[in-house]
Amino acid sequence: MSQVLMAHGGGGELTRQLLVERVLPRLANPLLNPLLDSAILERPSGRVCLTTDSFVVQPLFFPGGDIGRLAVCGTVNDLTCLGARPLGLSLALILEEGLELETLERVIDSLARTAEEAGVPIITGDTKVIERQRGDGILINTTGIGVLPEGLDLRPARINAGDLVILTGVPAEHGLAILSVREGLGFETALASDAAPLNGLAAPLLALPGLRFMRDPTRGGVAGVLADLVEETGLSVEIEERALPLSPIVRHASEMLGLDPLNVANEGKLVIVIAPADASTALARLRAHPLGRHAAIIGQIKPSTPPLAELITAIGGRRIIQRPMAEATPRIC
C-alpha cells in the first residue's frame, strides 16, 4: 500500500494506521500526544488571537518550500502581524485518493520542521480523504491560536503622517519561484521561495513604542498591503523605487515576465510601519536576524487628499501603486 485510499478517511482502522504510522510520529509534542478530541492549553494571560488559513498550491513542492512549510508559515505569520505570540496550530489535512503516501510523509516532515523552526507545536488535527479529482493531492487548513501581550495595539488607525515604511527583505521571491517552476521558465535554480515563519524576526520589535502596524505581503504582494494601508488610514504612502531591496535575479525574472515585483506574492516578508524615532533601532534589529538581512526603509506615510499609494520611480517620476487585480501573470509578448 503506497497510496491514499478512500478508506484512509473512513475513521476506521486504516485511518488510525495512517495517523499512527505516518503523521503523528512526525509531529509529536506534549500537547498533541494525548490525542484527545480537543487540545487543552493553559489559560494564557493577555488577549487571545485566533486565525485560520487554507492552503492550495501547485506544485506541492517548489524551490524554497512546499505546501507543508506554507501551511505553518501562513498562519504563524498572520498571528505575528498583530504582535501575537503563537501558542499552537491545528492541522486539517484533506487528502486526495491516490496521493502517494511518500508525498504525504514529505509534506508532514516539512511541516514538522517548519513548526519546530517557528517554535509552535501542532496541537490538534483532522484528516479526511476525498475522491480523486484534479490530482492536486493535498489541501491543508491550519488554525492558529496566539496570545497578545498586554498593551500591544498594532493597527492602521495608529499610523500617522511621517511614519516610515519598512520592508523586511527582497520582495516577489515566492511568487516568482512558483511561477518559474509551474511554467518551466528556467529560473528554477536561481529563485527560491522566501516562505518562513516570521515570529522570531518580529519579536524584538514588539517592545518598540513606535511600532504601529505589520502585515505580511502575501498574494497581493507589497502593492496589496500599501493599498490596504491607504484605504484603512485615509493617508497617502510614498515609496522610493531606489530604496526597494531587489535582488538581481528578482529584477531579471520580473523584467522577463513583465511583472512588477511589488505585485508578486511573498511568504516570508513583513511590511512594517513605525514612528521615525524607532525606525533605525527597528532596522538594526531586523538586520541582525537572518530573515531580515536585507530589510530597508522603503518609504513614508504622507498626509494627502486624495489618499494614494505612489511610487517615486528610479528615475524620479511618479506613478500610482495599486492592488493587483488577480494573481500576476506574464505578458503575451
Partner 1 sequence: MKATLDALQRDAEGLGELRLMEVCGTHTVALFRTGVRDLLPSNVRLISGPGCPVCVTSQGYIDAAIEAAASGEVTLCTYGDMLRVPGQRGSLEALKARGARVVVCYSIRDALKYAQAHPKEQVMFLAVGFETTTPASALAVLEAARLGLERFTILSGHKLVMPAIEALLADPQADLHGFLLPGHVSVILGASPYRPLVDEHGLACVIAGFEPQQLIDGVARLVAQIKAGAPALENVYRAAVRPDGNPHARAITQQVFVAEDTEWRAMGVIPNSGLALRDEYAHFDAFKRFSLSLGADYDPPGCLCGQVIQGRVQPPQCPHFGKGCTLTQPIGPCMVSSEGTCAAWFKYARRA
Grid coordinates of 125: 488535527
Q: Smaller CB distance to partner 1: residue 280 or 313?
A: 313
| Residue 312 in contact with partner 1, rule: CB under 8 A | yes
Query: Of 312, 301, 1, 313, which is closest to residue 158 (Cα–Cα)?
Result: 301
Question: Could you say which residues in the range 71-100 bind partner 1, by CB under 8 A?
Answer: none
Q: How far is CA 184 from CA 69, 174, 180, 265, 270, in A?
A: 22, 15, 6, 18, 28
Query: Of 276, 275, 292, which is closest to residue 284 (Cα–Cα)?
Result: 292
| Residue 248 in contact with partner 1, rule: CB under 8 A | no
Site track for partner 1 across 249-268, x = CB under 8 A: ---------x-x--------
Q: Which phi-psi region, left, alpha or beta, contains residue 45 (left: φ > 0; alpha: ψ -120 to 50)? A: beta
Task: Quote the least distance from Cβ 257 to partner 1, whole Å.
Answer: 9
| Residue 58 in contact with partner 1, rule: CB under 8 A | no
Select the span of 59-67, 139-147, 158-166, 322-330 touching partner 1 (CB under 8 A): 322-330
Q: In what helix (H) or strand (E) does residue 238 lie, and over which residues does it extend?
A: strand 236-240
Burial of 268 (0-12, 13-18, 19+ CB in 10 A): buried
| Residue 331 in contact with partner 1, rule: CB under 8 A | yes
Q: Smaller CB distance to partner 1: residue 43 or 331?
A: 331
Helices vs. strands in the chain: H and E counts, helices first: 9, 13
Q: Smaller CB distance to partner 1: residue 140 or 230?
A: 230
Task: Quote the least distance from Cβ 330 to partner 1, whole Å.
Answer: 5
| Residue 238 in contact with partner 1, rule: CB under 8 A | no
| Residue 28 in contact with partner 1, rule: CB under 8 A | no
Grid coordinates of 33: 500526544
Q: Smaller CB distance to partner 1: residue 146 or 324?
A: 324
Tell me the number of residues near partner 1 by CB under 8 A.
Answer: 22
Select the span of 5-13, 22-30, 193-201, 321-329 touching partner 1 (CB under 8 A): 321-329
| Residue 319 in contact with partner 1, rule: CB under 8 A | yes
Q: Smaller CB distance to partner 1: residue 151 or 317?
A: 317
Structural Rg of the chain based on CA atoms: 21
| Residue 183 in contact with partner 1, rule: CB under 8 A | yes
Which residue type is seen at 322?
Q
Site track for partner 1 across 291-310, x = CB under 8 A: ---------------x-x--
| Residue pointed to by grid coordinates 487543552 | 40
Question: Do 15 and 110 meet the contact criterion of CB atoms below 8 Å apart?
Answer: no
| Residue pointed to by grid coordinates 512594517 | 272
Q: Smaller CB distance to partner 1: residue 279 or 311?
A: 311
What is the C-alpha to C-alpha distance for residues 264 and 199, in angstroms, rounded to an integer? 22
Which residue type is seen at 266?
N
Site of interaction with partner 1 (CB under 8 A) = 183, 258, 260, 306, 308, 311-320, 322, 325, 329-333
